[in-house]
Amino acid sequence: MRIFLFLCSALSLIIAAHRFSLAEHTGQNRGALFFLLIGIQLLVTAALVHDHRESHTLKDAISTDKGDEKS
């Protein structure tokens, strides 16, 4: 899931960079700003998903270790 979000974010940021280069002379950056904001949101979401999975995996490992010590 997080890899998919990172790839979508990278694609969106590439599209934004392309749109900024096209709109450089006209000054109409609305489409480029949209893709830039979407890319940033996807990047943040992917980072949060990654952190959540790491903390959840760490908690599972700790609880498994405590269960082994009690037995």
The helix/strand count (H/E) of the chain reads as 2, 0
Q: Count CB-CB contacts under 10 A for residue 32.
A: 19
Q: CA geometry: angle at 51 spanning 48 and 57, to 5°?
A: 140
Let me know if residue 70 belongs to a domain: no
Let me know if residue 49 belongs to a domain: yes
Q: Structural domain of residue 39, as residue ranges?
A: 2-62
Identify the three-state secondary structure at position 23: coil
Q: Which H/E stretch holds residue 30?
A: helix 30-70
Domain count along the chain: 1
Let me know if residue 69 belongs to a domain: no
pLDDT, residue 24, reads: 80
More confidently predicted of 71 and 18: 18
Write out pLDDT tens, residues 27-61. 788 888 999 999 999 999 999 998 887 777 777 77
> From the centroid of its chain, how far is CA 56?
18
Let me know if residue 10 belongs to a domain: yes
